[in-house]
């Protein structure tokens, strides 16, 4: 038989339960405190880096506590500006085109300026022909900063340096180039090569045209002199033509030519657009006082090639080697021309025999 608890008994049970819960809660709090104390005992550093990107957060540094003002800080930074020096080549961005030049941003404190005459090695009508706002390219620093802290720039200087490097390489390769004559003067003709002004001496122009009519003509040219220090670029039209012609000529060959000029030392013979020299000693086996006594300007004649000098652009000719009998050029030049091929064949055979015997065939050409 069960006994029903009294009201006093129920109150005692509730009181005991409450005290037990309170003791359990206190024990749990004590366990958490002990856990944190244990963690501190493990020596975990306080400055553990966070996993997020600190750059994405606003800085909380206060410059007022740094010991100097913002103005002082800006002045300090200005001391560490780029050290631009004359002669440096830097990248820059075109941001304004003006009447007298262009404004360029190269990262300096003040925008740099490029005068119109420094825009290109070639003549230009306006800045917009060679520059566009927003364009990024290399610039040459010409001078120190002026009183306003502005630098002067140039593109022309860069192009100038690279043009000389290019023509030196072309000369080294003994290249043939083509260039347009833009002017003539008393001494010769003027052309542009890689933007540089070149000069062709009158003696190195091989054409039947009057010199004044060469303007706008494109000529094949070889380099004679490339001297950056003296700013001298000298070229030869004759050498280019001779080289081209030499590729189709050979020593011992008989060609037909026309007398274009007579000098005390010999005659210049046009052979297919290039000029060869018939020296006075190569006209005949017999001694002659002057070429004028044997030859006339515009005479057509047969001559034999006895030397090809591509480097100097010279072709040496002879009629002496074609004489059936010594002195025939003085007494019967027509006989010489009629038997020219026959005599040339004998001459070639003589050269072959000398070469086989180890003799220098060149020396025999000047007999």
Q: Which of 80, 101, 81, 78 is nearest to 90 (CA)?
A: 81
Mind listing the pLDDT tens digit for each residue in 167-177? 999 999 999 99
CB 152 within 8 A of CB 112: yes
47: confidence class by pLDDT, cuts 50, 70, 90: very low
The answer, yes or no, to whether residue 206 has pLDDT greater than 60, is yes
The mean pLDDT of 64-83, rounded to a whole number, is: 51
The answer, yes or no, to whether residue 50 has pLDDT greater than 70, is no
The answer, yes or no, to whether residue 240 has pLDDT greater than 80, is yes
Taking the C-alpha atoms of residue 61 and residue 344, their distance in angstroms, rounded to an integer, is 99
Question: For residues 136 and 56, which has the higher predicted lDDT (pLDDT)?
Answer: 136
Can you list the alpha helix ranges (DSSP code H) found in the chain?
7-41, 70-78, 156-172, 237-246, 328-331, 333-338, 340-356, 361-365
Range from 81-95, 178-192, 232-246 carrying the lowest mean pLDDT: 81-95
Mind listing the pLDDT tens digit for each residue in 299-343? 999 999 999 887 777 899 999 999 999 999 999 999 999 999 999
33: confidence class by pLDDT, cuts 50, 70, 90: very low
Specify which of 105-114, 202-211, 241-250, 288-297 reaches the highest per-range mean pLDDT. Answer: 288-297
Question: For residues 3 and 135, which has the higher predicted lDDT (pLDDT)?
Answer: 135
The mean pLDDT of 129-141, rounded to a whole number, is: 90
In this prediction, residue 6 carries a pLDDT of 52
243: confidence class by pLDDT, cuts 50, 70, 90: confident
The mean pLDDT of 2-16, rounded to a whole number, is: 49
Taking the C-alpha atoms of residue 232 and residue 325, their distance in angstroms, rounded to an integer, is 50
Mean pLDDT of the chain: 79
71: confidence class by pLDDT, cuts 50, 70, 90: low
pTM over 0.75: no
Please provide residue 13's backbone torsions phi and psi, each rounded to the nearest 5 degrees.
-65, -45
Taking the C-alpha atoms of residue 183 and residue 191, their distance in angstroms, rounded to an integer, is 7
62: confidence class by pLDDT, cuts 50, 70, 90: very low
Specify which of 98-112, 114-128, 141-155, 161-175 reaches the highest per-range mean pLDDT. Answer: 161-175
In this prediction, residue 8 carries a pLDDT of 52
């Amino acid at each position: 038989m069960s006994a029903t608890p009294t009201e006093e008994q129920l109150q005692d049970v509730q009181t005991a339960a409450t005290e037990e819960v309170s003791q359990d809660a206190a024990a749990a709090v004590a366990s958490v405190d002990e856990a944190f104390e244990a963690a501190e005992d493990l020596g975990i550093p306080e400055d553990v880096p966070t996993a997020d990107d600190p750059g994405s957060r606003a800085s909380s540094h206060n410059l007022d506590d740094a010991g100097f003002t913002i103005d002082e800080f800006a002045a300090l930074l200005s001391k560490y500006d780029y050290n631009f020096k004359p002669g440096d080549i830097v990248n820059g961005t075109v941001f304004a085109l003006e009447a007298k030049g262009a404004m360029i941003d190269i990262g300096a404190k003040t925008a740099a300026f490029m005068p119109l005459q420094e825009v290109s090695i070639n003549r230009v009508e306006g800045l917009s022909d060679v520059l566009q706002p927003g364009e990024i390219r290399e610039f040459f620093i010409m001078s120190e900063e002026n009183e306003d802290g502005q630098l002067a720039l140039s593109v022309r200087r860069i192009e100038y340096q690279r043009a000389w490097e290019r023509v030196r390489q072309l000369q080294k390769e003994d290249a043939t180039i083509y260039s347009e004559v833009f002017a003539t003067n008393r001494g010769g003709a003027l052309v542009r090569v890689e933007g540089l002004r070149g000069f062709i001496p009158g003696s190195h122009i091989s054409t039947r045209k009057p010199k004044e009519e060469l303007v706008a003509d494109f000529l094949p040219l070889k380099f004679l002199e490339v001297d950056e220090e003296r700013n001298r670029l000298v070229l030869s039209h004759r050498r280019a033509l001779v080289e081209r012609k030499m590729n189709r000529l050979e020593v011992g060959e008989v060609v037909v030519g026309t007398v274009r000029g007579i000098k005390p030392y010999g005659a210049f013979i046009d052979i297919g657009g290039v000029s060869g020299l018939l020296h006075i000693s190569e006209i005949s086996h017999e001694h002659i006082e002057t070429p004028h006594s044997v030859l006339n300007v515009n005479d057509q004649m047969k001559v034999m090639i006895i030397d090809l000098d591509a480097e100097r652009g010279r072709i040496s000719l002879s009629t002496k080697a074609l004489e059936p009998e010594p002195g025939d050029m003085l007494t019967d030049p027509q006989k010489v021309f009629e038997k020219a091929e026959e005599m040339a064949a004998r001459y070639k055979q003589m050269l072959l025999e000398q070469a086989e015997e180890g003799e220098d065939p060149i020396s025999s050409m000047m007999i």
